[in-house]
Structure 1
Amino acid sequence: MEKLKVGRATLTWLQGGVIHLDGGAMFGVVPKVLWQSKYPTNEWNQIELRTDPILLQLDGRNYLIDSGIGQNKLTEKQQRNFGVREQSKVVYDLAVLGLAPNDIHGILMTHMHFDHASGLTYPVAADAYESVFKNAVIYVTDIEWKEMRNPNIRSKNTYWKSNWEAIKKQVQPFSHEIEITDGLKMIHSGGHSDGHSVIVFEEGDTCWIHMADIMPTHAHQNKLWVLAYDDYPVTSVYQKEKWMAYGYQRQAWYTFYHDVYYRAIKFNGLGICMNQLVRK
């Protein structure tokens, strides 16, 4: 398990599962000839994507950033369509670290799409689910939480009742911004989904930024390279431009949930890589 120490925050990447999605959809209108050298495809034009939660240990508390795809949550058809090659090992990884699911104090949900939220619950019977992290407060924007429970004709394919009903009493929605603890904030961004948020941690001269699906992999650094999956792509462009400029100035670490090659990259003021944490 790869670790990164930034200020008083320790981040550890857990194994949340592996999916494969269409490369064209992941890079939107960008021609394949431009992105395939940065992030190659398989014979079906799919790119491999991790769905790996980050264990954030800060001020004596344990947080997760998103939750992975879970165990036994997807049907055979869904596993085939989403190219699932590996299901979640989050509980196992926590045990290796000497932790149990009940030791997680909070979960920072950047958004509630199936590949980020399926690890919140587990099946106990046909169409019956329970919370995995029963003691955790689950933070998510009020916009995202509302759409999760009342999806539209498009979003119903990714906002599932099995991922929210069992955890609804644990959810603490917020509007624009919330400070989880000193220096750690979740900030509503929109873009990928209407309720999407980014996570920022700052302490003195140190900073890391988790942009989630606004910048899902290192290959999406270009502010114009946004996903066809984005509900509001122009907003994604604006938010990426904003947070990349801010992070370059701060020489921040950018952390990734989906990237199969890198866990985190640190850029200088010109957007050039200064340091990187490679996935082993």
Structure 2
Amino acid sequence: METLSLGELKLTWLDGGDNHLDGGAMFGVVPKALWSKKYEENEKNQIPLRTDPILIQKENKNFLIDTGLGVAKLTEKQKRNFGVTRESNLIPALKELGMSPENIDVVLMTHLHFDHACGLTSVKEGQFVSTFQNAEIFVTKTEWDEMRSPNLRSRNTYWKQNWEAISKQVVPFEESVSVISEIEMIKTGGHSGGHAIIRLESDGHVAYHLGDLLGTHAHQNPLWVMAYDDYPVTSVLQKERWLKKAIDEKAWLTFYHDYYYRALTWNDKGVIVDSVKIQRD
């Protein structure tokens, strides 16, 4: 498992599963002639993606950014449509660290689309139960409201089985919240109406997790946003704002979906200065 030290915070990437989505959908209006130079595709025009939660540890506190694809949550048709080749290995990954889901104190949800939220619940004796039973679950109020009352478009990704069992654990917030002094969640909208990013700072070291505003390293250009975005102009403006702040602060940018990088830093020329790459056998 890849890790990154950020002052007193330790970040560890867990295994939330693999999927493959259409490159045209992932890069929106960007022509394939451009995006295919930065990110490889297969014969179905799909690009490989991860859905890997980030474990953040400080002393005896454990925080988790998003929750992966879950286990036994998708039908065979959904697996085909979403290019899922491997479901979540989150619980074995925690066990490898000497932990269990009960050790997670806080879950930080950037948004509640199925590929981020399926891991919130698990199937036990034919029922959906909370995976992280001792955790508070932070999410924007806008996102939480839409999760429970999706519209014609969003009902394809906001599923009852991912929220009903955890409803008493949810801590909704409006515009921003300081979870602890080192962790702040900020509502941006864009990818979804209630999408949020996460800012980490410890001992002068800073990292930004931009969620699906920055799906992969190939989405570096603020204009390169997904066709999945509900509010693409908001995505462009918010990504431009927060990428500039990250570069000005020489901050790390961390990824949930990227198939190649866990985290990186860019300079003001857009050149990678430092990085944590995914290690493969």
5+ residue gaps, structure 1, are: none
Query: Counterpart in 2 of 1:237?
Result: 236
The Cα of 1:204 is off from its aligned counterpart by: 4.3
Give the aligned length: 279
**Which range moved further: 51-60 or 247-256?**
51-60
Displacement of 1:123 in angstroms is: 1.6
What is aligned with 1:93?
93
Trace 1:183-222 onto structure 2 (pairs within 5 A): 183-222=182-221
**1:253 is matched with which residue?**
252
Partner of 2:155: 156
The residue that corresponds to 1:177 in the other structure is 176
Q: What is the letter of the counterpart of residue 225 of structure 2?
A: V
Give the structure 1 partner of residue 57 of structure 2. 57
SS of structure 2 residue aligned to 1:199? strand
Alignment-derived partner of residue 103 in structure 1: 103
Q: Any conservation in 2 of the 1:248–1:270 contact (CA below 8 Å)? A: no
Q: Distance in 2 between matches of 1:38 and 1:110?
A: 25
Question: TM-score when scaled to structure 1?
Answer: 0.98
Cα distance in 2 for partners of 1:230, 1:141 equals: 17
Q: Deviations over 1:215-261 (max 9, x none)?
A: 01000000000000000000000000000110000010000000000
> What is the distance in 2 between the residues matched to 1:18 and 1:125?
26
State the Cα distance separating 1:8 from its structure 2 match. Answer: 1.0
Q: 1:124 deviation in Å?
A: 2.5
State how 1:25-36 maps to structure 2 within 5 Å: 25-36=25-36
CA-to-aligned-CA distance 1:85-132 (integer Å, 9 cap, x gap)? 001010000000000110000000000000000001112255x30011
Say which SS state the counterpart of residue 38 (structure 2) adopts: coil
Identity %: 55
Partners of 2:8 and 2:203 within 8 A in 1: no
* Residue aligned with 1:99, SS: coil
Matches for 1:105-144 after TM superposition, within 5 Å: 105-126=105-126, 128-144=127-143
* Letter of the 1:148 counterpart: M
Please tell me the residue identity of whatever aligns with 1:66.
D
Q: Which residue of 2 aligns with 1:76?
A: 76
* Residues 28-85 of structure 1, C-alpha deviations (whole Å, 9 max, x = no match): 0000010102111100000111000000102420011000000000011101111110
Distance 1:58 1:33 in 2: 44
Query: 1:208 is paired with a residue of what secondary structure?
Result: strand
Matched position secondary structure for 1:240 = helix
Q: Distance in 2 between matches of 1:86 and 1:22?
A: 17
Structure 2 residue matching 1:248: 3-state secondary structure: helix
Q: Match of 1:67, SS?
A: coil
Distance 1:89 1:197 in 2: 25
SS in 1 for 2:218: helix
Q: TM-score, normalised by structure 2?
A: 0.98
d(CA) in 2 for partners of 1:161, 1:138: 16
The structural deviation recorded for 1:273 is 1.1
AA at the equivalent of 1:254: L
8 A Cα contact 1:53 1:67, kept in partner: yes
- The code of the aligned residue for 2:3 comes to K
Contact 1:250 1:269 in 2 (8 A): no
The answer as to whether partners of 2:9 and 2:202 remain within 8 angstroms in 1 is: no
CA distance in 2, matches of 1:43, 1:125: 39
After TM superposition, give the deviation of residue 134 of structure 1 in Å: 0.2
Q: Distance in 2 between matches of 1:71 and 1:269?
A: 41
